[in-house]
């Protein structure tokens, strides 16, 4: 699993409250980051990262889509995106980390922040110039959040479907420049709730189903956020969320909770989707 919009918002809210104003006394980037840098997930050598952040003060933490941006006073940003069980954890001064990590920020008050990157996650250091224009991390390239009632309207959503009417609905929902913050995990949940197969093309979704899909997207994201995230993810303090997904890998080779049909795992657009072939058409 990976954090999506609700978990990114929760982490951002907690990090902004906990970290803003803290001074970074020292930093670490582990040797494992050498291989991560060769794959593009870390963008600068370890010592360059350490030198750039040490002595700096956290100016604030914001997010866009699935990405979290730790702003440093004087410019520059540490951009974070977690995939496949990556974690960001805060450790008070009297509770040093015991978990593995790739990046660690040690604050002057004795507390610290650790980041563990697994799979396709990012931990990159950027100037304003290098961040804006980045293929994945540029906040201006993120589509509107389903929680933004002014931008993510039914009209906007239907406009996206019309513009991409030949694309699979899974493709549309998981592309960050169309809708910010959704990925395979929540998309499986949303499509199961709306009884839509992930291979259905946008042109084959009639107006009534589009309206229903739009409402389920906004309701689901709001509910996951309200419950502290999904139970497969943890917050800044290591506490799991309280939202239990109805559809996902936990149902592999098990009966559908609605109709009893065996759940199928299908490889669609580069990731595994779990589908009820009877409920979702």
Q: Average pLDDT by consecutive 10-residue portion of the chain (281 residues)?
A: 91 98 95 61 86 97 95 94 86 90 95 88 88 85 94 97 97 94 96 98 98 98 97 96 95 94 92 94 94
Whole-model pTM?
0.94
What distance in Å separates the CA atoms of residue 179 and residue 177, rounded to the nearest whole number?
6
Count the neighbouring beta carbons within 10 Å of the beta carbon of residue 98: 7
- Distance between CA 211 and CA 225 in Å, rounded? 22
pLDDT score, position 85? 72
- Domain at 154-275, CATH from 1.10.8.50, 3.50.50.60, 3.50.50.100, 3.40.50.170: 1.10.8.50
pLDDT of residue 33: 64
Residues 206 and 88: their CA atoms lie apart, in Å, by: 41
Residue 79's nearest CA partner among 132, 26, 126 is 126
pLDDT at res. 123: 87
Residue among 179, 61, 36 nearest 44 (CA): 36
Structural domain spans, the chain? 5-141, 154-275
Residue-level pLDDT at 224: 98
Pairwise CA distance, residues 214 & 19, whole Å: 35
Contact 119, 84 (CB under 8 A): yes
Predicted local distance difference test score (pLDDT) of residue 36: 60
Q: Rounded CA gap, 26 and 219, in Å?
A: 42
Alpha-carbon distance of 199 to 268, in angstroms, equals 8
Supply the CATH classification number for the domain 5-141.
3.20.190.10
Q: Which residues of 268-281 are buried (b: 16+ CB within 10 A; e: fewer)?
A: beeeebbbbeebbe
| Burial of 256 from C-beta contacts in 10 A (0-12 / 13-18 / 19+) | buried
* Per-residue model confidence (pLDDT) at position 122: 82
Question: What are 11's two structure tokens?
Answer: 């982490």
């Amino acid at each position: 699993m990976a954090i999506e919009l609700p978990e990114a918002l929760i982490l951002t809210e907690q990090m902004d409250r906990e970290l803003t104003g803290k001074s970074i006394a020292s930093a670490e980037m582990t040797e494992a980051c050498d291989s991560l840098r060769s794959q593009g997930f870390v963008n600068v050598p370890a010592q360059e990262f350490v030198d750039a952040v040490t002595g700096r003060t956290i100016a604030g933490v914001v997010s866009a889509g699935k990405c979290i941006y730790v702003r440093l006073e004087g410019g520059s940003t540490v951009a974070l995106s977690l995939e496949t069980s990556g974690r960001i954890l805060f450790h008070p001064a009297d509770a040093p980390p015991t978990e593995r990590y790739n990046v660690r920020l040690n604050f002057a008050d004795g507390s610290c922040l650790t980041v563990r990157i697994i799979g396709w996650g990012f931990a990159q250091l950027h100037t304003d110039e290098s961040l804006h224009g980045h293929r994945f991390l540029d906040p201006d390239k993120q589509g509107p959040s389903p929680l933004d009632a002014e931008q993510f309207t039914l009209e906007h959503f239907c406009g996206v479907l019309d513009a991409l009417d030949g694309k699979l609905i899974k493709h549309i929902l998981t592309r960050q420049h169309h809708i910010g913050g959704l990925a395979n995990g929540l998309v499986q949940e949303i499509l199961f709730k709306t009884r839509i197969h992930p291979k259905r093309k946008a042109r084959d979704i009639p107006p009534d189903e589009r309206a229903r899909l739009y409402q389920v997207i906004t309701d689901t994201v709001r509910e996951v956020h309200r419950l502290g995230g999904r139970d497969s993810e943890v917050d800044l303090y290591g506490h799991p969320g309280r939202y239990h997904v109805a559809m996902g890998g936990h149902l592999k080779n098990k009966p559908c909770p609605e109709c009893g049909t065996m759940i199928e795992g299908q490889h669609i657009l580069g990731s595994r989707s779990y589908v009820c072939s009877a409920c979702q058409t």
